């Protein structure tokens, strides 16, 4: 494997970084009921980026662009209720640039509380995420960069995600057969595919992996389009899932989902929709292996187990995109009350 394939990113005269990237790659050998993943499956823990999600790659590049003398940007706006808000707020604070976050009115989330710690200006919008995104597009101009994590608003997000492909080939020494990606709009999947394509076109690898898109059964516009062999359209049914990170209805920006569908097709990949119970059960299975992932992130592993196209002897990488601490637990933690009883503790450990 020859060539410096890790240098293929936009270069700015300012570099804002918090040590993102080069995330761990760990072997998986988990199974559940009658479904098992094969022995050639690994998880790339994007959940161990600085703000505990894969969004940090795009935020670092976008904020570097703002601080660069090569652009006219002075501030950043983002529409998000989740990991993007947290990540952009953190990198904006590190770069000392103004940051505005637009969120739909409603209950606060653990992710939004994490974002607030970095002291952005948070605006609640009377409407849906689509309304927030539309407002972010109208706020953005030559002075304000829209860092919302969709292709049509922010070209930096997919570009930065190419580095996932570069790191995988560097660590594995080859191209895996599959890369499984949890998808809302899909710039992570699209960016990773682009990175692998660049490696192939440069002669560094001989192929690209097949991309596996996973969405929630309760809202899966990209999966629907792949199955129906039609362009992606906005989800016009009720959203029936609690796993919102992979349940983007794409209202007002269905073309972003179409970019993702085209990457899936170009890689000879496929797409699957999973119900909440299946995804959450795999979240527990991963935790039993020492990996605490938020539910949407565990879907990448669940998809490998529940996709018939992934053979047991195929090599596959599941992108674990966010940490389990990102979402509050609704379960009561089981404990046992003791004073200083040594025997009780030893019995629990050894018997």
Give pLDDT tens digits for 67-118.
998 899 999 999 987 899 999 999 999 999 999 999 988 766 778 889 999 9
CB 60 within 8 A of CB 91: yes
Which of 214, 219, 215 has its CA nearest to residue 238?
Answer: 219
What is the SS3 assignment for 272? strand
pLDDT of 190 > 90? The answer is: yes
Average pLDDT of the chain to the nearest whole number: 91
pLDDT of residue 351: 83
Q: Tell me how far apart the alpha carbons of residues 109 and 112 are, in angstroms, rounded to a whole number.
A: 5
Write down the CATH number for the domain with range 56-146: 3.40.50.1100
Q: Are 157 and 149 in contact (CB under 8 A)?
A: yes
In this prediction, residue 7 has a pLDDT band, given cuts at 50, 70 and 90, of: very low
Q: Which of 40-49, 58-67, 338-347 has the lowest mean pLDDT?
A: 338-347
Examine domains 5-53+156-326 and 56-146 and report if their fold is the same.
yes
Tell me the per-residue pLDDT of 280-290, one tens digit each, with 9 for 90 and over: 999 999 999 89
Question: What pTM does this model have?
Answer: 0.91
pLDDT tens, position by position, 303-345: 999 999 999 889 999 999 999 998 876 667 777 788 777 888 8
Helices (H), the chain: 56-67, 83-95, 110-116, 129-139, 155-172, 187-201, 221-228, 254-266, 276-288, 295-306, 342-350
Instruction: For residue range 137-155, list pLDDT tens digits in order.
Output: 999 999 999 999 888 888 8
Q: Please give the DSSP secondary-structure letter assigned to residue 173.
A: S
Q: What is the CB neighbour count within 10 angstroms for residue 306?
A: 18
pLDDT score of 336:
77
Return the CATH architecture of domain 5-53+156-326. 3-Layer(aba) Sandwich (3.40)
User: Across residues 50-74, what is the average pLDDT?
Assistant: 95
Domain locations in the chain? 5-53+156-326, 56-146
76 DSSP assignment: E
């Amino acid at each position: 494997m020859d060539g410096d394939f890790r240098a293929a990113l936009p270069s700015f005269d300012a570099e804002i970084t918090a040590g993102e990237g080069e995330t761990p790659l760990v072997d998986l050998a988990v199974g559940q009921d009658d479904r098992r993943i094969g022995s050639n499956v690994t998880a790339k823990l994007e959940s161990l980026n600085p703000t505990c999600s894969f969004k940090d790659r795009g935020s670092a590049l976008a904020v570097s662009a703002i601080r660069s003398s090569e652009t006219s940007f002075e501030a950043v706006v983002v529409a998000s209720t989740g990991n993007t808000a947290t990540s952009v707020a953190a990198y904006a604070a590190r770069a000392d640039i103004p940051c505005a976050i637009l969120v739909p009115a409603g209950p606060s989330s653990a992710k939004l509380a994490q974002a607030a710690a970095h002291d952005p200006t948070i605006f609640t919008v009377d409407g849906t995420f689509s309304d927030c995104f539309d407002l972010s597009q109208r706020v953005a101009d030559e002075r304000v960069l829209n860092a919302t994590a969709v292709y049509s608003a922010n070209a930096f997000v997919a570009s930065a995600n190419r580095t996932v492909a570069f790191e995988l080939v560097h660590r594995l020494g080859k191209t895996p057969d599959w890369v499984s990606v949890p998808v809302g709009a899909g710039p992570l999947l699209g960016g990773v595919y682009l990175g692998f394509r660049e490696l192939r076109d440069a002669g560094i690898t001989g192929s690209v992996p097949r991309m596996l898109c996973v969405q929630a059964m309760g809202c899966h516009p990209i999966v629907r389009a792949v199955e129906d062999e039609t362009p992606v359209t906005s989800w016009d049914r009720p959203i029936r899932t609690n796993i919102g990170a992979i349940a983007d209805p794409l209202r007002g920006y269905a073309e972003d989902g179409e970019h993702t569908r085209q990457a899936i097709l170009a890689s000879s990949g496929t797409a699957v929709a999973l119900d909440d119970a299946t995804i959450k059960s795999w979240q527990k299975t991963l935790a039993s292996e020492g990996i605490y992932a938020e539910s949407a992130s565990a879907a990448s592993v669940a998809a490998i187990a529940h996709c018939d196209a992934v053979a047991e002897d195929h090599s596959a990488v599941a992108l674990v995109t966010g940490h389990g601490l990102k979402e509050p637990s609704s379960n009561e933690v089981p404990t046992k009350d003791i004073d200083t009883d040594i025997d009780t503790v030893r019995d629990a450990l050894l018997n």
